[in-house]
């Protein structure tokens, strides 16, 4: 008897709120409150397509999108959302809203009701472009520099992007000169 009590499994964590009839059940699991009438496959498909299109619209990688979303949306979770392999939690919905630049609650409404989120058009200064240090600029290859230039041009305007590109060229040139000088000193 002792062995039974010690290893007896407890009831699963709040899968269904049993105080309501089953037809009105509200699923509560890992912070997600969802009606059982949601077609999971269609909802996951809608959410994945919307996140992918938002990422393409912002011209960011999955890593940059997850970084932009902040806490609550890891890279792994984002990948699982795009592959339609996750039941999003409230933290995930909030992270998707932040990452895509949607109003809070848009990702959840898209998932549950199919209502499309409102999208800010590029060129209004609201798109997210990471600030880069000089070390990061030096470490970038030429293609990465051009991609960042295009992101800036879409997010702000051509003048801001050209100023950054000039700065990046100067930083990279100075780094190459310093590298050559250090090689010349080492060689003597």
Residue 122: the pLDDT is 46
Contacts (Cβ under 8 Å, ≥6 apart) of 28: 14, 15, 16, 17
Cα dihedral 95/17/35/32 (nearest 10): 10
Tell me the residue ranges of DSSP E strands in the chain. 27-29, 32-34
User: 73 near 99, Cβ under 8 Å?
Assistant: yes
Residue ranges and CATH numbers for the domains of the chain are 22-113 (1.10.260.40), 134-187 (no CATH)
What CA–CA distance (Å, rounded) separates 123 from 157?
7
Residue 35: the pLDDT is 52
Residue 78: the pLDDT is 92
Q: What is the pLDDT of residues 22-38, one digit of tens each?
A: 444 444 444 555 555 67
3-class secondary structure, 162: helix
Residue 82: the pLDDT is 93
What CA–CA distance (Å, rounded) separates 143 from 28?
46
Residue 23: the pLDDT is 44
Residue 127: exposure state from Cβ atoms within 10 A (0-12, 13-18, ≥19): buried
Residue 47: the pLDDT is 92
What CA–CA distance (Å, rounded) separates 128 from 66?
12
User: 155 near 129, Cβ under 8 Å?
Assistant: yes
User: 53 near 45, Cβ under 8 Å?
Assistant: no
Residue 31: the pLDDT is 52
**Tokens 């699991």, residue located:** 29
Residue 127: the pLDDT is 52
Residue 62: the pLDDT is 92
Residue 125: the pLDDT is 44
Radius of gyration for the chain, computed over Cα atoms and rounded to the nearest angstrom = 24
What CA–CA distance (Å, rounded) separates 31 from 23?
21
Cβ burial 149-163 (10 Å sphere, 16+ → b, else e): bebbbbbbeeeebee
pLDDT in tens, the chain (188 residues): 555 555 555 555 555 444 444 444 444 444 555 555 678 888 899 999 999 988 988 888 999 898 888 877 899 999 999 999 988 888 999 889 888 888 888 888 889 888 888 765 544 444 556 667 788 888 888 778 877 777 777 766 677 778 888 888 888 888 889 988 888 887 76
Tokens linked to 143: 């293609």
Residue 25: the pLDDT is 46
């Amino acid at each position: 008897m002792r062995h039974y009590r010690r290893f007896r499994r407890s009831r699963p964590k709040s899968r269904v709120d049993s105080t309501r009839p089953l037809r009105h059940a509200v699923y509560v699991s890992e912070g997600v409150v969802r009606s059982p009438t949601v077609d999971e496959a269609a909802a996951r498909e809608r959410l994945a397509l919307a996140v992918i299109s938002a990422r393409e619209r912002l011209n960011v990688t999955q890593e940059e999108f997850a970084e932009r979303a902040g806490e609550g949306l890891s890279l792994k979770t984002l990948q699982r959302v795009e592959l339609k392999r996750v039941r999003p939690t409230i933290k995930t919905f909030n992270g998707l809203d932040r990452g895509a630049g949607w109003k809070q609650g848009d990702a959840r409404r898209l998932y549950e009701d199919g209502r499309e989120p409102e999208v800010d058009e590029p060129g209004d200064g609201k798109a997210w472009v990471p600030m880069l240090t000089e070390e990061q600029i030096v470490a970038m290859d030429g293609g990465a520099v051009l991609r960042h230039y295009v992101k800036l041009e879409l997010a702000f305007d051509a003048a801001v992007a050209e100023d950054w590109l000039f700065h990046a060229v100067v930083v990279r040139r100075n780094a190459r000169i310093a590298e050559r000088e250090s090689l010349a000193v080492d060689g003597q």
